[in-house]
Structure 1
Amino acid sequence: MGRIELQGVRKSFGALEIIKGIDLTVGEGEFVIFVGPSGCGKSTLLRLISGLEEATDGKIVIDGEDVTGKPPAERALSMVFQSYALYPHKTVRENMGFGLQVARAPKAEIEQKVAAAAATLQLTDFLDRHPRELSGGQRQRVAIGRSIVREPKAFLFDEPLSNLDAALRVEMRLEIAKLHRRLQATMVYVTHDQIEAMTLADRIVVLQAGQIEQIGSPIDLYQKPANLFVAQFIGSPKMNVVPCAGGAGTVRFAGGGEITLPHAREAVAHFGVRPEHIALTPAGEGVVEGMIDVIEHLGSDTFVYVEVPELGLFTVRIVGHTRFEPGETVGLRFDLDEVHIFDRDGQAIGR
């Protein structure tokens, strides 16, 4: 169980429309992540699913039942927030079982479900501790455990890792991935973090200004973005995009240089290539050339920033190190199997 359907869902606050007609189906056991820039409506959409916000129009259907007008308590969903919201005076055991206690579940049932959730989340040894005695990652696991014991139809996560430091985010990201694999539960997750979205999701929903730009697997969105917005939003560092002209199977760049792409036509206005699909060459050997502005050494990878006259700054990703130095003039060669072209409206032109 746990199939969620949104049918023409809209949400307005007065005259301001935030969600502009969303149609989406989340399959049973699927892990779906909402991403988009601040203000795009991703958290509002999650709150509409949970019942914390009331839809202005449209239907929300869970397991075939229209729950659009129902309060959160009647939707059998569980939400994990950015804030842990634990009771400081209660132990981990008491925090995790509090919802069942309020629902007047039998004591034996509460103990059994809390013990099972604690084992799943590796919290068994911490059941008698208070939140102040736990790390940030452990507190977030307690918050997740509090949701698990209720055995919801689906889990909703609203940026649950954003309050953690970098190391704990990695740890908790792995914990959530393992949890999804063990529970096989439906999960809908909101984040602004590219790595979380790419590593956790079965499908990613990219939102902009209250509308869906593209839905797909992480690899599909990365390799086949539908438009310029998705192309530059998915991926870190983002895709290099520069103006160009096209026609008769050729893409031409301002300042000189051209490449052959059989599907290029007159409508081509933008050329895109990801940093890892560019090779540095000595001056005069690339499609275009420019001067190295900055080199960032990250150990396993090196990022080289090349300023190309009339086109702008290109980011180049190199595995390992580079022999080139800042201030050198270099050529850029593109992997033609991995480049992207877009029309004047920013829509991708497929091969």
Structure 2
Amino acid sequence: MAQIELKSVRKAFGAVEVIKGVDLTITDNEFVIFVGPSGCGKSTLLRLVSGLEEATDGQIVIDGEDVTGKPPAERELSMVFQSYALYPHKTVRENMGFALTVARMPKAEIAERVERAADVLKLDALLDRRPKELSGGQRQRVAIGRAIVREPRAFLFDEPLSNLDAALRVEMRLEIAKLHRRLAATMIYVTHDQIEAMTLADKIVVLQAGRIEQVGAPMELYMRPANLFVAQFIGSPKMNVVDCAPTADGVSFPDGQAMAYDAPHEDARKLGIRPEHITLLPPEDGDVRGRIDVIEELGSDTFAYVDVENVGLFTVRIVGHADLAEEAPAGLRFDREHIHLFDATDHAIRQ
């Protein structure tokens, strides 16, 4: 497989620069996921790697070879798109082997590669069916199989599961994880789905407005976000963040409530804490006091939304069922080991 390096890569469409100097190394056999809000440039960056878009500046290097000016066919990469793009009149077998047929590869070798890919993707029994006879998940597996048979240096995925329903997304997410393990392949994957990013990636690249905000392992980004954007983007429900001010022994909040904290910092301007790191208690026992606004029962979890007047709405995650009442007063106790502080520029303050 391949190591892929992006060196000061930029992309502009006319006067609008959408990729603003990206430096990134993707190592051999690594599963890297690009995430970020709509319009951040993640799909454009993937298309630059594939050669479907031409870089305005910078270098794209694959296994030590500068491929910046090379067309897609010469980069030896395979791309799986959001749309299956299967030929409706061709069988699964013909769809998977079509690129090899166009390349005039011997029929015996095409058949061998298709059979091998079908075995990996559990498509053996479907090879003689046509796309209309397949489910959405099966069609996406065929699209992935079409990429596998080319035996590329790396696989590129552009939101491949976004057209599937929730159950099929879970099924295909597991299939892609197993596929990466079986093929030991370099993979770059674009998604807006946090669960896909957290469960599939060896490394997550968080993008905003054409720039990289942070790169790291999923739990590194979750537990040690570099800034407020990453803190609130990674994690679902997102991190609670409220304004604060430093005090001699902790922090205070806009409503005048204060919390003792043995690691105060003079630059602290915002405090963040994730829903699972807050304990719901009687009002007199909490670090701050508020009132339960809404309760969501999900079966495995309960989410309580607690309004602290003039401070903010806190999301509290409780495992299983909780006997709570809306409009009831409540105290919130923050786990001191999992408090995040941010300065006036929204950068994390490392404790």
- CA distance, structure 2, for counterparts of residue 246 and residue 103 of structure 1: 66
Residue 137 of structure 2 is matched in structure 1 by: 137
- CA distance, structure 1, for counterparts of residue 299 and residue 160 of structure 2: 29
Q: CA RMSD in A?
A: 0.8
Residue 273 of structure 1 is matched in structure 2 by: 273
Residue 26 in structure 1 maps to residue 26 in structure 2: yes
Residue 261 of structure 1 is matched in structure 2 by: 261
What amino acid does structure 2 have at the position aligned with 1:184?
A: A
- CA distance, structure 2, for counterparts of residue 290 and residue 260 of structure 1: 18
What amino acid does structure 2 have at the position aligned with 1:261?
A: Y
- CA distance, structure 2, for counterparts of residue 239 and residue 229 of structure 1: 10
What amino acid does structure 2 have at the position aligned with 1:146?
A: R
- CA distance, structure 2, for counterparts of residue 260 and residue 12 of structure 1: 49
Residue 319 of structure 1 is matched in structure 2 by: 319
Q: 1:263: Cα distance to partner? A: 3.7
- CA distance, structure 1, for counterparts of residue 261 and residue 28 of structure 2: 41
Residue 170 of structure 2 is matched in structure 1 by: 170
What's the TM-score once normalised by structure 2's chain length? 0.99
What amino acid does structure 2 have at the position aligned with 1:323?
A: D
SS at match of 2:60: strand
What amino acid does structure 2 have at the position aligned with 1:255?
A: D
Residue 189 of structure 1 is matched in structure 2 by: 189
Q: Deviations over 1:157-189 (max 9, x none)?
A: 000000000000000000000000000000000
Most deviating of 245-254 and 311-320: 245-254
What amino acid does structure 2 have at the position aligned with 1:309?
A: E
Q: 1:236: Cα distance to partner? A: 0.3
Gap regions ≥5 residues in structure 2:
none
What amino acid does structure 1 have at the position aligned with 2:124?
A: T
Provide the aligned length of Structure 1 versus Structure 2. Answer: 351
Alignment check: 8 A CA contact 2:30 2:187 kept: yes
Alignment check: 8 A CA contact 2:201 2:218 kept: yes
SS at match of 1:291: strand
- CA distance, structure 1, for counterparts of residue 226 and residue 184 of structure 2: 30
Most deviating of 115-124 and 315-324: 315-324
Alignment check: 8 A CA contact 1:11 1:55 kept: yes
Residue 203 in structure 1 maps to residue 203 in structure 2: yes
Residue 89 of structure 1 is matched in structure 2 by: 89
- CA distance, structure 1, for counterparts of residue 52 and residue 110 of structure 2: 26
Residue 307 of structure 1 is matched in structure 2 by: 307
- CA distance, structure 2, for counterparts of residue 260 and residue 54 of structure 1: 54
- CA distance, structure 2, for counterparts of residue 115 and residue 218 of structure 1: 35
What amino acid does structure 1 have at the position aligned with 2:116?
A: A
SS at match of 2:338: coil
Alignment check: 8 A CA contact 1:41 1:210 kept: yes
Alignment check: 8 A CA contact 1:131 1:139 kept: yes
Residue 149 of structure 2 is matched in structure 1 by: 149
What amino acid does structure 2 have at the position aligned with 1:66?
A: D
Residue 343 of structure 1 is matched in structure 2 by: 343
Residue 41 of structure 1 is matched in structure 2 by: 41
Q: 1:265: Cα distance to partner? A: 2.0
What amino acid does structure 1 have at the position aligned with 2:350?
A: G
Q: Deviations over 1:280-306 (max 9, x none)?
A: 111211011111111000001000001
Q: Deviations over 1:189-238 (max 9, x none)?
A: 00000000000000000000000000000000000000000000000000
Q: 1:253: Cα distance to partner? A: 1.5
Q: 1:118: Cα distance to partner? A: 0.1
Q: 1:249: Cα distance to partner? A: 4.7
Most deviating of 258-267 and 89-98: 258-267
Gap regions ≥5 residues in structure 1:
none
What amino acid does structure 2 have at the position aligned with 1:9?
A: V
Q: 1:259: Cα distance to partner? A: 2.9
SS at match of 1:337: helix
What's the TM-score once normalised by structure 1's chain length? 0.99
What amino acid does structure 2 have at the position aligned with 1:197?
A: A
Q: 1:257: Cα distance to partner? A: 3.0
Of all paired residues, the percent bearing the same amino acid is 72
- CA distance, structure 2, for counterparts of residue 247 and residue 155 of structure 1: 51
Alignment check: 8 A CA contact 1:248 1:265 kept: no
Residue 7 of structure 1 is matched in structure 2 by: 7
Alignment check: 8 A CA contact 2:297 2:321 kept: yes
Residue 291 of structure 2 is matched in structure 1 by: 291
Alignment check: 8 A CA contact 2:259 2:288 kept: no
Q: 1:147: Cα distance to partner? A: 0.3
- CA distance, structure 1, for counterparts of residue 149 and residue 95 of structure 2: 11
Alignment check: 8 A CA contact 2:54 2:69 kept: yes
What amino acid does structure 1 have at the position aligned with 2:73?
A: A
What amino acid does structure 2 have at the position aligned with 1:51?
A: G
SS at match of 1:206: strand
- CA distance, structure 2, for counterparts of residue 288 and residue 297 of structure 1: 23
- CA distance, structure 1, for counterparts of residue 145 and residue 28 of structure 2: 21
Q: Deviations over 1:110-131 (max 9, x none)?
A: 0000000000000000000000
SS at match of 1:284: helix
SS at match of 1:306: strand
Q: Deviations over 1:228-251 (max 9, x none)?
A: 000000000000000000144511
Q: 1:255: Cα distance to partner? A: 1.9
- CA distance, structure 2, for counterparts of residue 71 and residue 226 of structure 1: 36
SS at match of 2:324: coil
